[in-house]
């Protein structure tokens, strides 16, 4: 099986232009993964699986709950020579209106959390919402995740993206991540093996799936204080970022030492609109789906913003959002 780097990572989308989808003529179908009760479903709309609320159907979609179901999912795709796309909470994804061919593995249903009182470490399955973990830690008086509140990602996706805010990030607290390869081998990787940098890791563009992660926190603080700091971060976020409409958070990485939001605002692009997609008034590095946006509207707007900023500032903005599937040529 070849796991398409493009589909997993969203790079070089042009390679897929012009390809027809195998889903076009398929009726909805459900298949039980051998040896499990987990269903693989065909032609499932992916719009509700992304925070942008756009995207066409997955040719096949599976949402395993356990490791054996994940292993069976990989095997199922390998046996059919299907490309695989890994999905967390879909909060940093732009999926094409044409959808995705092959098997989409949704990790949201991988759920468990364990707070180890002895070590101060918390272990969470890939599908746990990061926000939930941050609030649980705060309520216990464990500090270290206050920055994470407001990031609507899963633990797995956030380890891959090296999610961060307010000077904290995954790389600072990760002890290890368990990663499953398509061939069924399971590795335990420390941050040193993950090549962490600002919003990047070696797991981006990789075939391996994060099944769980362990983080080092600091127990023993007054819960009221940790809750207060967490709430303060959320308040600050809500006052500077638009949470009222679907988005993917920051569209572009900040091009050090500049801030993408400032550059886009100074280019005069706040409020600029293509179809149902607009550059947010509250924060120019956010693109919002203001209702009825197509993935292609967002895709075109991303490129328009990139082009205009390049023209004005001779700076190339790199998307943080992962772009998956085929899009119309620019």
Ligand X SMILES: Cc1cc2nc3c(=O)[nH]c(=O)nc-3n(C[C@H](O)[C@H](O)[C@H](O)COP(=O)(O)OP(=O)(O)OC[C@H]3O[C@@H](n4cnc5c(N)ncnc54)[C@H](O)[C@@H]3O)c2cc1C
Ligand Y SMILES: C=C(O[C@H]1[C@H](O)[C@@H](CO)O[C@H](OP(=O)(O)OP(=O)(O)OC[C@H]2O[C@@H](n3ccc(=O)[nH]c3=O)[C@H](O)[C@@H]2O)[C@@H]1NC(C)=O)C(=O)O
Longest alpha-carbon distance in the chain: 59
Q: Can you spell out the DSSP letters for 49-80?
A: GSTT----EEEEEE--SSHHHHHHHHHHHHHT
Choices 24-32, 109-117, 240-248, 252-260 (CB under 6 A): range interacting with ligand NDP: 240-248
Does residue 132 interact with ligand NDP by CB under 6 A?
A: yes
39-45 and 57-62 strand pairing: antiparallel
Q: 190 to 219, contacts with ligand X by CB under 6 A?
A: 203-204, 209-210
Per-residue x/- mask for ligand NDP, residues 32 to 61, rule CB under 6 A? Answer: -------------------x----------
Q: Which residues of 143-168 are buried (b: 16+ CB within 10 A; e: fewer)?
A: bbbbbbbbbbbbbbbbbbbbbbbeeb
Q: Can you spell out the DSSP letters for 122-156?
A: EEEETTSBHHHHHHHHHHHT-BS-GGGTT---BHH
- Taking CB under 6 A as the criterion, the residue among 243, 315, 316, 318 binding ligand NDP is 243
Report in angstroms how near the CB of residue 270 gets to ligand X at its nearest: 17
Q: 247 to 276, contacts with ligand Y by CB under 6 A?
A: 249-250, 253-254, 259-262, 265
Residue 40 · residue 103 · CB < 8 Å: yes
Does residue 254 interact with ligand NDP by CB under 6 A?
A: no
Q: Which does 325 bind (CB under 5 to 8 A by kind): ligand Y, ligand X, ligand NDP, none?
A: none
Residue 173 · residue 144 · CB < 8 Å: yes
Q: Which does 157 bind (CB under 5 to 8 A by kind): ligand X, ligand NDP, ligand Y, none?
A: ligand X
Lookup: tokens for 262: 């400032």
Which one from 69, 128, 146, 320 is the annotated catalytic residue? 320
Give the interface with ligand X as residue ranges (CB under 6 A).
Answer: 8-9, 51, 86-93, 107, 126, 151-154, 156-158, 160-161, 163-165, 203-204, 209-210, 243, 247-249, 322
């Amino acid at each position: 099986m070849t796991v398409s780097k493009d589909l997993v990572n969203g790079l070089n989308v042009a390679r897929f232009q012009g390809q027809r989808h195998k889903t076009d003529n398929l009726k909805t179908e459900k298949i039980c993964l051998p040896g499990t009760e987990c269903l693989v479903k065909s032609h499932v709309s992916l719009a509700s699986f992304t925070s942008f609320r756009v995207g066409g159907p997955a040719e096949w979609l599976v949402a395993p709950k356990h490791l054996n179901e994940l292993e069976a999912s990989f095997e199922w795709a390998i046996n059919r020579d299907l490309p695989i796309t890994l999905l967390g909470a879909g909060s940093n994804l732009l999926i094409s209106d044409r959808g995705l061919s092959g098997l989409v593995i949704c990790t949201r249903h991988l759920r468990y959390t364990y707070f180890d009182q002895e070590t101060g470490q918390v272990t969470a399955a890939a599908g746990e919402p990061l926000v939930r973990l941050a609030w649980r830690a705060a309520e216990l008086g464990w500090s270290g995740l206050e920055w994470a509140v407001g990031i609507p990602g899963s633990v797995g996706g956030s380890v891959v993206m090296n999610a961060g805010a307010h000077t904290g990030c995954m790389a600072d607290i990760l002890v290890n991540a368990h990663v499953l390869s398509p061939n069924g081998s399971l590795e335990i990787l420390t941050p040193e093996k993950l090549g962490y940098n600002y919003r990047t890791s070696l797991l981006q563009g990789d075939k391996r799936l994060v099944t769980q992660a362990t983080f080092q926190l600091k127990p023993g603080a007054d819960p009221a204080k940790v809750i207060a700091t967490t709430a303060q971060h959320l308040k600050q976020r809500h006052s500077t970022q638009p949470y009222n409409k679907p988005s993917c958070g920051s569209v572009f990485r900040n091009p050090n030492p500049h801030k993408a939001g400032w550059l886009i605002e100074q280019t005069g692009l706040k409020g600029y609109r293509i179809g149902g997609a607009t550059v947010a008034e509250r924060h120019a590095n956010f693109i919002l789906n203001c209702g009825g946006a197509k993935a292609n509207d967002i895709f075109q707007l991303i490129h328009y913003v990139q082009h205009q900023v390049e023209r004005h500032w001779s700076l190339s903005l790199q998307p943080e959002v992962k772009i998956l599937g085929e899009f119309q040529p620019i």
